[in-house]
Structure 1
Amino acid sequence: MNRARMTQMTGKYMNHDMISLHTDLPELPEGRISLLYAVLGQQPDAAPQKELLTLVTSLVQMGLDTHDMVENAPQGASAAKSGLLAMRAQQLKVLAGDYFSSRFYHLLSQAGQIDTVRRLSEAICDINRLKVSLYGKMTQMKLNAEEYLHFGAELKSGLFLAFTGFMSGLYERAWPELVERFSRCEVLLQEMRKVEKMSSLDESWGMWHILQEGTEEDRRMLFERRDDPNLIKTLMHKYDIAEKLGSLLRQSTGQLQVLLQRLQSDKLLRELQPLIEPFLQAAGQQRATALKELG
């Protein structure tokens, strides 16, 4: 599914003046949606409903991602400073997330897809439990870099795993690993973009890697001066954060390509290749940059 068709499908449910004027929304999960659409198209029983199923999944994922953008309300003087507009933006994020999520019930019930409502509802509950677990580990500082990636991939793939029961044969066996590996590549690509900004190490793979592998002095400085851009740049270079992320992305992308080959469908491979290109390009650019710095 191309971007134009995806935008056309979701636009009538997501384009609201009040929301667009007063708050930001997360990006549509185009990669995972296109992956689901393409694989559902290979399933004889699910293919006739593939547009409806990908539409409702888009809306639910947007609802979850919009809620994730809601920040804790500031207290005291900072609360007054943030002003009415900031508070309204936060409130609209909550309302927008609720609205997007609610639309899937309506659309699926109209189509008589009650079992799909159950599957997605259970997936939402699992995702929320996973978020609580991740938050607990993060606040207690009991998380390592690999667990951070694993949680990220699980959160992105959770809704899409609900469609395993729609697959048959080889696809049923391959789908869970396929969507998890694709989601892991998405997480790694996001982390590489964070490195490019170099604005903060908070809530990043780089932070957990340094806390896991760094010296006691570097860990202490990371806690005390986490908003210092010079320190951030120094630590990122010292621990080769960009290079390590690039290596992990190359590894995961290679594993993803192997999985796709197992599906033994040239048509599906051609359809999915554009979804993998951003991962290949980012990993390749990082390697070229690293070689240039060495040379």
Structure 2
Amino acid sequence: MAFISKTYQQEFQTILRTVQDETSDPLVVNVIGKLPIPRLALALQYLYFKEQYTPFDAIRDYCISTVLIQMGLNVHNEVPSGSETPSSSVHDRYQQFQVLAGDLYSGRFYQILAYRGDTRIIRFLSDAVSVINQARTNLYDLFQNNELTVALYVQEMEKIGTALIKAWFQYERKHEGTKWESVVSNLLTAEKLLSDSNDTVPVHWQPSVVSQLKQRAMQLIAHSRSLVQEWSTLEIKRELEHLIDVSFPGTTQLGKTAEDY
């Protein structure tokens, strides 16, 4: 993940290194490996705070606390494959470490924000976690009852991928939050749909359904490009355009051809 501005790049790398340090518990890494950092979400949140002229120490703490929650929730949601768990005892141990790692990393956000005295932020991020957990429960119920459609899948995945960052926009209650909410929701949902279309969509879904997910992702990316074209802060506009290019290579012309947003 690279920014055009050298200052932005240096600050983002500082945040990224801190996240890596916070999620590098030797025992957890030895058992379940290093956790992937949701860099696109982290970069979008960073740019939002830069546009608000938020001091860097606050940006750092807010971004780190949010991404730690997301990583903790993500590791809770992972399911080990059979090749990774050859016996029930190994399977149980792996799952125990998933729970421990998730609790360890997501729980650290309390510590970071408590030191800042930001109890209101702890409250609204906790509410966002409830939204994510409810969405995951909804997906499970829909799948178990064979009622999961593409539209419902996209709807719940959007909640899972964006609830934490959108909570910041709603908390800030600034006019700019509306456009940020749209762009962030589009891009993070598109990222999730493209990832899932290659890996984790329900096995009974036909290839045509996977194609629908990819098509929807392309529409979301195109819509984001169109929204960014109207951005008022030129420096942030350039960074967002660059971020989309880097995160979704090969989609440069989508903003000119997208339909049915």
> What range describes the TM-score normalised by the shorter chain of this pair?
0.7 to 0.9
Aligned residue in 2 for 1:204: 201
Structure 2 spans left out of the alignment, 5+ residues = 1-7, 253-261
State the distance in 2 between where 1:26 and 1:15 align.
9
Query: SS of the residue aligned with 1:15?
Result: coil
Q: TM-score, normalised by structure 2?
A: 0.81
> CA separation of 1:122/1:186 partners in 2, compared to 1, >3 Å: closer, same or farther?
same
Aligned residue in 2 for 1:122: 127
Query: SS of the residue aligned with 2:232?
Result: coil
Work out whether residues 157 and 189 of structure 2, in 8 Å CA contact, stay in contact via their aligned partners in 1.
Answer: yes
1:49-64 alignment, distance < 5 Å: 49-64=58-73
What do residues 80-125 of structure 1 show as CA deviations (whole Å, max 9, x unaligned)? Answer: 9515333322211110100011101011001111111111111111
Structure 1 spans left out of the alignment, 5+ residues = 75-79, 195-202, 211-235, 285-295
Stretch of structure 1 that moved more, 259-268 or 104-113: 259-268
Residue type of the alignment partner of 2:103: D
CA offset at residue 177 of structure 1? 1.8
> CA separation of 1:54/1:250 partners in 2, compared to 1, >3 Å: closer, same or farther?
same
Q: Please say if 1:94 is aligned against 2:91.
A: no
What do residues 22-50 of structure 1 show as CA deviations (whole Å, max 9, x unaligned)? Answer: 11354211001100110111114576511
State the distance in 1 between where 2:202 and 2:188 align.
15
Work out whether residues 66 and 97 of structure 1, in 8 Å CA contact, stay in contact via their aligned partners in 2.
Answer: yes
> CA separation of 1:135/1:39 partners in 2, compared to 1, >3 Å: closer, same or farther?
same
What do residues 195-242 of structure 1 show as CA deviations (whole Å, max 9, x unaligned)? Answer: xxxxxxxx417844x3xxxxxxxxxxxxxxxxxxxxxxxxx3xx3844
Q: Please say if 1:186 is aligned against 2:191.
A: yes
Q: Spell out structure 1 runs of 4+ moving beyond 6 A.
A: none
Q: TM-score, normalised by structure 1?
A: 0.73
State the distance in 2 between where 1:137 and 1:277 align.
35
State the distance in 2 between where 1:91 and 1:240 align.
34
Aligned residue in 2 for 1:158: 163
State the distance in 2 between where 1:142 and 1:241 align.
17
State the distance in 1 between where 2:214 and 2:135 align.
26
Aligned residue in 2 for 1:68: 77
- Same amino acid, percent of matched pairs: 22
One of 97, 106, 109 as aligned partner of 1:104: 109
Work out whether residues 69 and 105 of structure 2, in 8 Å CA contact, stay in contact via their aligned partners in 1.
Answer: yes
What do residues 1-42 of structure 1 show as CA deviations (whole Å, max 9, x unaligned)? Answer: 657434312122111111111113542110011001101111
Which structure dedicates a bigger proportion of its chain to helix?
1
Query: SS of the residue aligned with 1:41?
Result: helix
What do residues 166-217 of structure 1 show as CA deviations (whole Å, max 9, x unaligned)? Answer: 54643122232222111221122213433xxxxxxxx417844x3xxxxxxx
> CA separation of 1:81/1:268 partners in 2, compared to 1, >3 Å: closer, same or farther?
closer
- Root-mean-square deviation over aligned CA pairs: 2.8
> CA separation of 1:169/1:104 partners in 2, compared to 1, >3 Å: closer, same or farther?
closer
One of 30, 42, 45 as aligned partner of 1:33: 42
Aligned residue in 1 for 2:256: none
